[in-house]
Structure 1
């Protein structure tokens, strides 16, 4: 079947077409129509008046066109280079914490700004390249369209798709190899960079060290049988103040951190421990005659009226830094979870579903409190392979 005469769908400047007067082709006729025919038909159906439509460069291959292509490709190349730099920095740059003044602290400080700058410049390059392409290479046209309500018909959808195809053909993108390749490189590398940011943390195996894996071990674990004492932190990481059993008044709470004598002459490690996310512990001395309910398997974790719980909330990992001595409740200020301190810190309110991890404590011959062992369960919120409920 031959297509309807081209003149039937030609633009008529200055007049508004009437859909009732248009011949709406059948599906078979639509399949036989060329892209230009479909575009003209779509213009009539959508009440689009093409005021002007001329290519940006009427003569292909001119020096001006090549210069515009290089400018556009430059943005895409920049996006590709920055995206590649982001991936390399994200994976290979030193990211572990280094104390100020220590060797490597500058590299640590630069890590976050560098990954932010490279990813941002990569996204900027793609965006600027698209804008530059539309301004410098796409055809210059001016159209006026009337608005219509309702769902688009099959004809409308076909003609709209044809209009997009025609725009792509007029843009000359297939023959602009430099832009086409640079855009592909920028888009591919940027996509890879986003994937690295989203899934990069899953590349390393957190369980490669078995029972010594970081999620299962804290600084409260004894090394070579050395005792780990409870230490106060007064703001100076090099000052070591150990905690005695009688230092706390009934109904009071103290935040304590682990300390080994072997680390006394290591200021870097002393500072690192007080900044470690799983080190802080709430040492609480309950008031006299407060009944204590103990968790199965943890009956001897307390020392008299002294109990020690991880400060890391079992809901989302916030610091449970509030203690109300009249009700013996530990409160997490982030999402209002509450734990009963005299009942193995079981959750009694809020979204937390598990008790806080309890640290087993004892007293040495000089009255100093120490940890009898590390926590027997992972501290903080849950994760997929958590072994305890």
Structure 2
């Protein structure tokens, strides 16, 4: 039969005796058996149900309700209440810029409110206690395990969950809504199966035959704009502005003497010393835009993947395993000046690999 020694009383307690104790008695006895001495302990509200206690409960419940509303608002914004599609400057409503800040702010508010509410619950409603603990080694025997369980039950009773239904309800609402956030964010984008039909952004971008290349402000791109070794981020100049996040394209003008070893069936994708590749890294979708013009290396700053432009953007270092998609270029004359346009869309899907990529 296992026994435990109580340092304060000098007596040994059996497991059977420990099982007869109330949760609070077991908590105190277990603390003493474990070398913890409770110096001071008092209830925050010795008389339950006072106006001060109810006021504290209402304040904490209000914080939980705010957290619940913030989590619900996150889900509403994520599901389309706020526009998220990118548009070029001057192309109409630019409210898409608020989408990401709103998601971050609402999620932060929900987490903060639940955390603040729990802290206020502990500071305002749980018993005030000071204890001193002696350090010790070794495993606990059965009696100490029973007393430890009593400590957990006593701590749960101190929360007052049974008689504080308002706090229990609001905490459950806030926690439940917050729990839905990752479910909506992770599963929501997988509900619609990707395909190859028109408008399927996994396989198609706004580029197409004759679509002009433009800067972010809508100006058309001319071969005269770049110096040898220069680069520029360009977009498809489509009506209504660009709505796809896979549209950013890196236009590169090679230095004199540099040539590109083109991939099969892509030898005519460039135009003179100009080539254009998707700016979206094929590893994790970061912008690969750090260009070393002397060596022709293109670096993705997120995970240090490097692509050799002179080998048609083949990955030569880092976690990326697939070349950057190449855009077929062409030019047209407008008012006596040449401007770039796409000859067709990218011949392969943009960005990182996914489960149905051929």
TM value normalised by structure 2? 0.78
- The structural deviation recorded for 1:369 is 5.5
- The structural deviation recorded for 1:377 is 0.9
Cα deviation 1:31-66 (Å, max 9, x = unaligned): 555435533431331233334444333333333333
Matched, 1:117 2:105: yes
Looking at structure 2, the residues matched to 125 and 374 of structure 1 have their Cα atoms a distance apart, in angstroms, of 47
- 1:381 maps to 352
Say whether the 8 Å CA contact 1:206–1:213 is kept in structure 2: no
- 1:228 maps to 211
**SS state of the match for residue 43, structure 1?**
helix
1:319 to 288, 306, 309: 288
Looking at structure 2, the residues matched to 82 and 178 of structure 1 have their Cα atoms a distance apart, in angstroms, of 19
What pairs with 1:1-389 in structure 2 (closer than 5 Å)? 16-17=7-8, 22-26=11-15, 30-31=18-19, 33-91=21-79, 92-98=81-87, 104-105=93-94, 107-196=95-184, 198-199=185-186, 202-203=189-190, 205=192, 207=194, 210=197, 212-222=199-209, 227-229=210-212, 233=215, 237-243=217-223, 252-255=229-232, 257=234, 269=241, 272=242, 277-285=246-254, 287=256, 293-302=261-270, 307-316=275-284, 317-325=286-294, 327=295, 329-332=296-299, 334=301, 335-362=303-330, 370-387=341-358
TM-aligned CA distance change 1:151 to 1:203, over 3 Å: same
Looking at structure 1, the residues matched to 92 and 275 of structure 2 have their Cα atoms a distance apart, in angstroms, of 39
**SS state of the match for residue 348, structure 1?**
strand
Looking at structure 2, the residues matched to 110 and 320 of structure 1 have their Cα atoms a distance apart, in angstroms, of 25
In structure 2, stretches of 5+ residues that fail to align are none
TM-aligned CA distance change 1:363 to 1:127, over 3 Å: closer
Higher RCO by CA contacts (8 Å cutoff, separation 6 or greater): 2
TM value normalised by structure 1? 0.73
Say whether the 8 Å CA contact 1:218–1:279 is kept in structure 2: no
- RMSD (Å), alpha carbons: 3.8
Looking at structure 1, the residues matched to 141 and 275 of structure 2 have their Cα atoms a distance apart, in angstroms, of 72
Say whether the 8 Å CA contact 2:277–2:326 is kept in structure 1: yes
- The structural deviation recorded for 1:259 is 5.7
- The structural deviation recorded for 1:214 is 1.0
